[in-house]
Amino acid sequence: MDTPNELAQAWHQWWDAGVRLIAVETWDEELVQAAANALAEIREAPLWHWSAVSGLIRPDDRLGGALTRDADVLAEKILAMPAGVVLARDLWHAPLDYRALRALRDAAHRSAPVFVIATAVPGVEMPELLRHDMVRMQAGGPKSRFIDRWAESGIPSLETRVRQQETRIPGLDWLRADTDWSAVGGLERLKTWAAERRLALDPARGLPFPRGVLLYGIPGTGKSASVRAWAGSWRLPLLRLDWGGLMGRYVGQSESRLDAALKVSEDMAPAVLWMDEMDKGVGADADGHDSGVSRRLTGHLLTWLQEHEAPVLLIATANSMHGLPPELLRPGRFDALFFVDLPDARARREILAIHLARHGVDDPIPYLDIADGLANFSGADLASAVVESLFRAAARQIPLTPAVLAEASASIVPWARTMGEELERRRRWAKGRLLPA
């Protein structure tokens, strides 16, 4: 949103959607002023200006300046206004008392056509009490005449800042998805499936958006990395649902948090919603007992998974299927169920090359034959071998060599060797039930 008209049109839509209070971080007050003028024209509403110096002024009534220069009184006057756009400059720099914050909260939920635009320079703390009652944004992007100062501030983009604010809900985290499938070795079938389903992002094709995908398998085989790569390659926001974080101490609090989390994911759609280690939450508490709350949350999630219409892809990862309710896997909820096994020789070479490059090895080819002899290694085991070899080379004050990597790899005890019986049990269970990733 780089022009006054773009800002005004966005505010116009938010006004229709019920938004009444916006906090704008900006260095460019002229941009916000012009946008407020344009919004007032679109809505055919009077425009009021306020600052601690000028007081409250209506452009066609210069006597209004005598109304108030006090920020606390301004908040109460906003609550009493019948209609209009209010541009309050540097409002968040003023020390607002609780009565003023209460007035702004009430104003944010009024049906009256009053729209408040409160500005501050980037980096100013907003009142915690209002964080769920207003939309926070930035104005003054690449075309702003203050671009140099903006860049030096190191503040995230408008989209990121607004979405991070929206996701301040217990049990829901906003994650950076700044990678793609090139950072994940192997898993060719999973990658192909994801590439095909990406066609659903094109509305012209009329394809249904996938609802959910389950990734079950061996620990350390790239399930979490795949989720990040999936969201990054689709260029969608990534939200993580933490089952334990949803749990509240009061009756109904957990269900309310889940409702809020799912609503945020729908508001941010298209988006990817990641439920990590689903087996540790859904259906049972951490100690393995179902408290009733967990059962109700699971039922609510299952209903949402089947009935939601917003383009939100739920990707669940699990290291165990024990305790998961059978109805979770019923058709209509998850579009695909994948089993993520240990990487084959080709995939191990890809994974080893990725980790070597990550640690500054320009030519990984001389090292890759080592991967052929590491049949029981997961991606996490290969990463550990690379790190171990780096420390050994540093301790000896020598450069990393294939011999050092081979030596370090021999010292790693992979999960598959320690838990061989469990590995075979999982493979037997998944065969014929899940798709190989």
User: What are the per-10-residue average pLDDT scores of the chain (437 residues)?
Assistant: 79 84 83 90 89 76 59 83 86 82 86 85 75 77 34 40 54 83 92 94 89 91 93 89 77 77 82 86 54 76 86 89 77 86 93 92 90 92 94 93 94 91 90 87
Residue 313 half-sphere exposure toward CB, CA atoms < 13 A: 26
The domain segmentation of the chain, as residue ranges, is 4-157, 173-340, 345-418
Looking at residue 154, its pLDDT comes to 39
Looking at residue 168, its pLDDT comes to 58
> CATH classification of 4-157 is 3.40.50.10420, yes or no?
no
User: Is the overall model pTM greater than 0.85, yes or no?
Assistant: no
Q: Are 345 and 372 in contact (CB under 8 A)?
A: yes
CATH architecture of the domain with range 345-418: Orthogonal Bundle (1.10)
Looking at residue 284, its pLDDT comes to 52
Q: Do domains 4-157 and 173-340 have the same CATH topology?
A: yes
Say which residue the tokens 């919004």 belong to. Answer: 39
Class of domain 173-340 as given by CATH: alpha beta
